[in-house]
Chains A and B, each alone.
Chain A
């Protein structure tokens, strides 16, 4: 890489200017995103695309196709199947027995990116004999990654890397049992795609769209500043049925007293919470 570009930087004023521009032109509000990470993503785009600050602004205004790429780069879409296997073991032991008592289980995977978590949950429910009465909604702000999610096709290389997670999650057989293998890709079995729905939802600007027995939103809060985390927690709280479960990422905890009183800790290591009355 060119030295000029590896040294690309962004001042705080420039960062704010970009956030403002994206909000005005495209209606996406990144003003309450964690700044250090946001800055790193923006600098990365400037490096990859070899764009100076002014070129970046120009493209954001004049090139609608570029905005989709921009959005994909800004929102981190790194995900895995059965990421943090201990989380799935905890779900199996502590949450599924409870969910099994419901006639219908509705689950929301918020910030689902390319769908790996949705299908991991589908497999977990399938193995527990609960998939037939479950429905999983996967949402993201990014239309491009949702296209991938709907297809449910992953490279063989990725599936191999997920195999270890699957094993550590304590599930029987192999992850490949749930896929149709092709030369260089694997497609999730069609029965696991049933009872899933992927749609666009913006946690910052959109509202409640259903009532859920469980919401999983892992490694999304880390990109939000504390005030925004509170707002989204409120959205989740109102979207859960009484005694419904909220799952955050491994290193994400509910910090505010207000919500600590409204959620009971089910698993403090995996950050699984249960909605209780106010």
Chain B
């Protein structure tokens, strides 16, 4: 299926790419970020659920395999273009109006910290319609409400097609809320984000 010009245009004009996922999402998100050109004039924020205390080496893997500058978020980091930010385990990451990150250790959302909802919702507050967000596979409902907020703010929201998701609860929850502008198969997601 060829992607329509409208979706391509909205992706191109985005300032921020949000990638959220839980169980079964890591490889896909990693592949997306790996394929990013070094000169992408956008900020990428990755929110992946994972267990605390187990250093999953996610940050290292990303940093060594991507052409964009990659870093794990530290509190009050200034949000820069051309950079991939990974939300650290056991923290929620919020975006401040002054263009910095704020971390937060409050209660888990859907048993998850980081929570995709928290980052997506605060991105909607600050970036409004200037985001593209993709919600991938996962075994709980985190991310769906945040994706809806982004859609309502006018951003481009994409849900991984449940047929392609290893765990379909997360994309299905987003579909149930009608939070996605598009429900796309993996190949379409990769095609779009590499344009």
The answer to the question of A78 belonging to the interface, with a C-beta cut-off of 8 Å to chain B, is yes
Interface size on B, residues (CB 8 A): 25
Which residues of A sit under 8 angstroms from B178, Cβ to Cβ? none
| Distance in angstroms between the alpha carbons of A249 and B75 in the assembled complex | 10
- CB distance B94 to A37 under 8 Å? yes
A88 to B43, CA, bound (A): 34
A250→B125 CA distance, assembly (Å): 27
Residues in chain A near residue B121, CB distance under 8 A: 40
Contacts of B20 in A (CB 8 A): none
Q: Nearest Cβ distance between residue A212 and chain B, in whole angstroms? A: 23
- Give Cα A251 to B103, complex, Å: 8
Chain A to chain B: the 4 pairs with minimum beta-carbon distance, closest first: A36-B94, A34-B102, A76-B106, A222-B103
Over the window 169-181 of chain B, the binary record of Cβ atoms lying under 8 Å from chain A Cβ atoms (1 yes, 0 no) is 0000000000000
- Near A by CB (< 8 A), chain B positions 37-76 give 53, 72-76
Residues in B with CB closer than 8 Å to A34 are 94, 96, 102
Min CB gap A226→B, angstroms: 6
Write out, one digit per residue, whether chain B residues 87-124 have a CB within 8 A of any chain A CB (1) or not (0). 01011001111000011111100000000001001100
Given known A-B contacts A40-B94, A40-B118, A6 and B145 have beta carbons under 8 A apart:
yes
Tell me whether A255 is interfacial, beta carbon within 8 Å: yes
Residue A50 CB within 8 A of the other chain:
no
The answer to the question of A168 belonging to the interface, with a C-beta cut-off of 8 Å to chain B, is yes
A251-B53 contact given A36-B125, A37-B102, A76-B106, CB 8 Å threshold:
no
Measured CB to CB, the closest approach of chain A to B74, in angstroms, equals: 5
Q: Mark A37-79, 1 if CB is under 8 A from B, else 0.
A: 1011100000000000000000000000000000000001010
